[in-house]
Chains A and B, each alone.
Chain A
Amino acid sequence: MIEKRSLVIIGAGPAGLAAAVKAKKAGIKDVLLIDRDIQLGGILKQCIHNGFGLHVFKEELTGPEFALRYIREIEELKVEYKLNTMVISVDKNKRITTVNPDDGLIVYEARSIILAMGCRERPRGALRIPGTNPSGIFSAGTAQRFVNIEGMKPGKTALILGSGDIGLIMARRLTLEGMKVRAVCEIMPHPGGLTRNIVQCLEDFNIPLKLSTTVIAIHGKRRIEGVTIAQVDDSFKPVKGTEKYIECDMLLLSVGLIPENELAEEAGVELDPVTGGARVNQYLETNIDGIYACGNVLHVHDLVDYVAIEAEKAAKSAVRKIKGKTRKIKKRIELITGNGIRYTVPQFIDVTDKEEKIKIYFRSTSIMESIKINAICKDEIIFSKKLKRVAPAEMEYIIISTDDIRGRKMIIEARAK
């Protein structure tokens, strides 16, 4: 049996929730939201700390409170949702195959799809730390779930590898719960997470942050007993003589997130090898007509507010498509990452017959101060913006008018002022 819906949204984290609310309010009656979890809200349910919502709701909320705002709207607007339902495949004809313990297999056919599957943490395997494989090694997100949702203490003393935000937040959380955090080690010369979290999660509690340092060995047979850390040189090789043994019964890994894109790939959605997410245009539409992406499945966000804003934009685009109100595309411009730019979203721009102001989000490859961000078409700078500082951990944007774009390529670069 095939069921039809105008819009199917996969994933009910903040991205999926915000998109569903927006689409329903814009008059799409048959919106369906699907999640494999038993609750709405995605990863926000375990992010119990505050710092969400200042831009969208103008007040500071915790993760669960932020999710609740949308969940209440979902209920009020009577948006149809299915929980405990796993999407197992999506194809380019926008057929979505789902399984659920009550209904078994159901196939939906949608006019538009919004991908909002979030991301998952990089596992230990991706790191290749030599040594034993004892228990007590968790991803920071797993530890977060243990402590915040299941109310457990996963150990007594921890070392955290990686200074991503989840690792920093967990350093404070474990400390507050009476566990000891020996240090946060970061292989890069700069921290991975937001400065705000370095201040209020580490400095407030005197937890040392060791930059250019990594774990080179894990010790312990059944349970982890300690790790050896060492400083690294410019090519990330351990420096002899800097090794130090640190006793701990937990090792938390906060070494990055990867968008969860197996489904998208199967549908033929082209991915950006840098973000791990789909390549999209300014409407957040992928290379497949009517399939959109937003939130962490598109690229990793540090601000949930930006996730919600992006999701609303994807919903607006999908609604326009469903209502047949899209404009004809005149040409496609590829964005190219130049000096100092790690990635941009969108990756390409579809120029129509109407002038449009386009917000191009980007991340830099390193920390740079007093710089200019240039947009270059046919060797000519068509736009330039001064920035005091950019850092890989903080997303920035520029706004470009489609009327200024020449040719079929545009380079975005960062240069010293």
Chain B
Amino acid sequence: MKKEMVCISCPKGCRMTVEYEGDKVLEVLGNSCSKGWDYAVDEITKPVRIVTSTVKVRGGKLTVVPVKTNKPVRRHLIFDVMNEIYKAEVKAPVKEGQVIIKNAADSGADIIATLDLKKI
């Protein structure tokens, strides 16, 4: 089977034609780097996404701190991960890379801060 897809691993957005049989990718055309191949395989077998959002902060210069999953999570888990993010709260100061939720929604990914945030 053939499928047209756009690699979303980076904003270049290479347009690729992927040939596959069942779960097996046979050929990828149009990718500019190896990430494109990996993306095509994932998209056929198990689509994944990085989730980014914000988590509430107590006593910080701002009331929320931006966060992300430290690795891509299965697409169907996005809202389960978000549910844990809604409930979470951290105390300032926050450091970039600090783990805020471990293994969010059993996705295998941690939620980490993407910014340093000082105390007020």
Contact = CB atoms under 8 A, between A and B. Distances in A.
| A complexed with B | yes
B96 A68 contact: yes
B52 A196 contact: no
A51 B10 contact: yes
Given A176-B82, A204-B49, A196 B114 contact: no
B6 A55 contact: no
Contacts of A178: 86
Nearest to B49: A200
Report whether over half of chain A's contact residues are helix, strand or loop; otherwise say mixed.
Answer: mixed
A176 B53 contact: yes
Interface stretch (A57-65, A121-129, A180-188): A57-65
B101 interface: no
B96 A148 contact: no
A149 B64 contact: yes
Interface string A53-76: 011000011101100100000000
Contacts of B12: 54, 303
A29 interface: no
A148 B66 contact: yes
Among A45, A55, A62, A204, residue most surrounded by chain B Cβ atoms (within 10 Å) = A62
Contact of A60 (B9, B75, B78, B115): B9
B9 A54 contact: yes
Interface residues of B, number: 29
Nearest to B43: A199
Contacts, number: 82
Interface string A38-49: 000000010011
A394 interface: yes
B74 interface: no
A200 B8 contact: yes
B13 interface: yes
Contacts of B6: 195-196, 199
Given A48-B114, A64-B115, A199 B8 contact: yes
B52 A48 contact: yes
Contacts of B10: 51, 54-55, 60, 196
A241 interface: no
20 contacts: A48-B52, A48-B54, A49-B52, A51-B10, A51-B11, A54-B9, A54-B10, A55-B10, A62-B52, A68-B116, A150-B63, A151-B56, A178-B86, A195-B6, A195-B8, A196-B7, A196-B11, A204-B75, A302-B11, A305-B11
Interface of A: 45, 48-51, 54-55, 60-62, 64-65, 68, 147-151, 176-178, 194-196, 199-200, 204, 302-303, 305, 388-389, 394
Given A48-B53, A151-B64, A196-B10, 19 more contacts: A48-B68, A50-B50, A50-B52, A51-B10, A54-B10, A60-B50, A61-B114, A68-B115, A148-B64, A150-B63, A176-B82, A195-B6, A195-B15, A196-B8, A199-B8, A204-B75, A302-B11, A305-B11, A394-B13
